[in-house]
Structure 1
């Protein structure tokens, strides 16, 4: 109750707090440029159409279903469903539930059950025989309680592995 009464006073002391909060919430990550650089590459000696065709094949080889394709605009999106259940997480939650029950505390165990991995690829011409490609991955995880969360998969291993597969496919079809 005290917090509810103090909130208007804080707002009166600093009339710009709402604007600063909105800017922070909508601000890009501090490492956004670094992530974008990891997710991007230039592919030489291949037209944008050829690169898009190979990107589509690599996505399908990786088990993705292509959901959206707009080759005219250089956009491709796909997803795949996977089991997210980890034995250690389930065992830990059950053990915690039992331990708390012995102490008289009710606890509802929560663990991950399913995940959807999404990939989004954009391309743009970088010259007559070069194409810039960016790929981003995220996963949407659902728990046994039905709640979901989104995790961005920004590690370099995701994008680099994808780019290697695209380059390899382009080399085979050359």
Structure 2
């Protein structure tokens, strides 16, 4: 199993456990993402985005509403105002040794370690949008993520992620 941590910082030598801002009830940990779900981090760190996946059990109405005009099984949407930052920002994918990690969320692909972790490799990514498109992901831009978030939360979709929404336009109420 391969685990990764994405950053805009080019020279991280050690990852120290820390408390995550939106999970202050947890003890300090190092976060990682598995290989299957790494695509959700091919964007600048604070980029608000919504990712959802076609799955069994969603209503026919929601299948049509969210996937009616695409053959892709994954749709990722971000705010248009983040386009230039996405194109201009290099990302660094650090590969982390899996030994000290435990699964935190299997559906999302999140893993945590309570120990200090030294990366075993690093890859610079300058073409993240192209990488997403080459994976067959339906990548969309919208001026405002709120209508999509509201529609998903009222839908039968169960496999979705609303990431960094605190940085979305007018997100104070989320």
TM-score calculated relative to the size of structure 1: 0.22
Q: Which has the higher contact order (CA 8 A, sep 6+)?
A: 2
More helix by share: 1
